[in-house]
Every structure is written in C-alpha cells, then in structure tokens.
Amino acid sequence: MNPVERALRATDRAQQRHRGPAFVVGVVKKYGDDRGGLLAALITYYGFVSLVPLLLLLSTALGFVLHGHPEAQRAVLDSALADFPIIGDQLRGNVHSVRGSGLALVVGVAGLLYGALGIAQVLQHAMAEVWNVPGVRRPGYWSRLGRSLALFGVLGGGLLLSTAAAALVGAALGGPAARVGGLLLSAVLNSLLFLACLRILTPKEVAARALLPGSLLAGPLFTVLQAFGAVLVAHQLRHATAVYGFFATVIGLLSWLYLAAQVTVYAAESNTVLARRLWPRSLLQPPLTGPDERVLADIARQEERRPEQRVDVGFEDPPPDGERPDDGERPPDGKRADDGS
C-alpha cells in the first residue's frame, strides 16, 4: 500500500467512525450513484424551456393591458422593468405601439404546457430514481399527469400565499426588521411548499415523515437562492447594456436553475439516506460496507420492468492480496447474497 492510499484509507476509516461526516459522505455518494448531476441537468433544461414561453405570455399580456391605456404605459415606463436590458429598450421605444397577439398567446400557452409538463414528469422520474423504485412499481402516464396538475396547483397556491405573507410583513414592520422577518417567513413557507411538492412527486410507498428532513434543509437554501437572484437582478443586470445583459441574463438564469435543481436532488437524497440509514459508506473499495451493498442492490432492482421479472443481487468476498479471479469464474466459497433488507 503506497503512502497516498494509506492516507486515503485512514481518512475513510475516520469518516466512517463519526456520524456527521459519514452522513455527508453517504449523501454525496448516493447522489453520484443515482446520477444526480444528470437529473439536475434535465430539471434545468425543462425549467428553462418552460420559462421562455412564460416570458412570451407575459409580453403578450402586457400588450393587451397597455393597448389604449396611457396611464398603464406611463406606469410601466416609470417602473424598474424599463431599466432591464433588451426589455427596457423595447418598452421605451415602442410602448405606444405595443399590441397583444393572439398567435403569440397560443404559442406561449402551448410552449408553457410542454415545458411545465416536462419538468413535472422529470421531477417525478428524479424522485423515483432517488428512492430506487423498481420500474414495475412506478406510476403510469395518467397517474403522472394527475400528479403534474396537482403540483401546478400547489405551486400556484404557494406563490400566492408567499406573496401575501411578504406584503403583510412589509406592512407590519419597517426597515431591517421587515427584511429579516420576510426572509424567515420565506424560509418557513419554502420548507412547507417543498414538503408538499415532495409528497406529490414521491411514490406513495414512501412515508410522508421521511420527506421532512430534506424539506427543512431545502427551504432555507431556496430562500438564499431567491435573495441572491433578487440582488443580482437589482444591482448587476438592471442597467446592463443590451448585448451584455442578454448573455448575462441567460447564463445567470441557467446557473440559478441548475443550483435550484441540485438543491432539490440533494434534499431528496438526504431523505433517502436518513430513512434507510445508508451510512457509513466507503470511499475506497474493497471492502464494501453494509450500506454500500444495500445501495448497489437497490440500484440493480430498480431495473425490474415487468411483474414476471425478478432481479436477485449477490456479493462476493474480495480475493486475497488484491488478486482477481479469472473472467467468468466465481470463488467457490465466501459468496453471500443480499437479503433485500
């Protein structure tokens, strides 16, 4: 054993002996085992696709509202919206000729439905992957569609509730107290909203109480992301030039969505690791720990696609002195089968 491997194995043994570091390593390892980065990228893609038609819908609605209403036109020109790159230039130059388009409305609605349903389907797939639900036990299309519609209802209600709560806090308090109170209230509401969304997205076989720890983690993190996004828009993108502002907005939006997707997946992975006690995990193999074997067995079993199919998983003791058995051969002894616990 070389000095580098000796040091790594000493670190591995140390993290396995302590609950906190072992839990963190377990979550990170589970995230990698489930290809969490790919799941987050899919969520980001459909989130961005759903936002583009949403902007088209907003601009179309703005055209209907501004047409024939000079008071509304002046209010828009005096608002912060007119200072944004590209959008502000178009409003200042064409506010008197803005028109709502029926075709743009239809295209925007169709694109929004495609992107929104896509992100809801991907989120359900991500939760099934995180909990390693076998394909044969995953819900069908119509069940997933019903869950998607329920998710939109919860998100819409949560948005209205958070907006009303922020307005009440701002009216009751002033100055720094209002900002602190608003952030705390936002963290609580985000945690509750995340818990409700997880309950809709996660397969029913997972108990609701198993979804609480990750929700308590994700709520404050989403509040931080929201505050960071608001500061970025207010101080960096608001007065940027058209070309710079366009690229900065797109890159910033994609980065923000990816961070939000990673928070979502990591929070769900934390729930799984806690519920199944999937720690300590080994950084270097062999040997595999008990949680290592359980995770690998669950990943193999989730590939069951038909009721007639059964996947059995077994593990072999590593050969001595780093030797490997010949291809196609298995040691006659030392075999142990996973019992599915």
From first to last of the 341 residues of the chain, give the pLDDT tens digit. Answer: 688 888 889 998 999 999 999 999 999 999 999 999 999 999 999 888 877 666 666 666 656 665 665 565 555 544 444 444 444 555 555 444 445 566 666 776 777 777 788 889 999 999 999 999 998 888 888 889 899 889 888 887 887 777 677 666 666 666 677 677 777 888 898 899 999 999 999 988 889 999 999 999 999 999 888 877 766 655 555 555 555 556 666 777 788 889 999 999 999 999 999 999 999 999 888 889 999 999 999 999 999 989 898 888 888 877 665 555 554 445 444 445 454 44
Is residue 165 in some structural domain?
A: yes
Is residue 4 in some structural domain?
A: no
Q: At 83, list the tokens.
A: 């200072």
- pTM assigned to the model: 0.79
Cβ distance 24 to 104 under 8 Å?
no
CA gyration radius, the chain: 25
Q: How far apart are CA 141 and CA 329, in angstroms?
A: 43
Is residue 303 in some structural domain?
A: no
Give Cα separations from 286 to 44, 215, 222, 305 (angstroms): 36, 34, 38, 30
Is residue 294 in some structural domain?
A: no
In the chain, the number of structural domains is 1
Q: At 327, list the tokens.
A: 């291809």
Is residue 5 in some structural domain?
A: no
Q: At 68, list the tokens.
A: 């024939």
Is residue 325 in some structural domain?
A: no
Is residue 91 in some structural domain?
A: yes
Structural domain range at position 150: 24-276
Q: At 65, list the tokens.
A: 């509202």
- For 315, phi then psi, to 5°, come to -130, 145
Task: Provide the terminal-to-terminal Cα distance of the chain, rounded to the nearest Å.
Answer: 34
Is residue 43 in some structural domain?
A: yes
3-state class of 327 per DSSP?
Answer: coil
321: left (phi over 0), alpha (psi -120 to 50) or beta: left
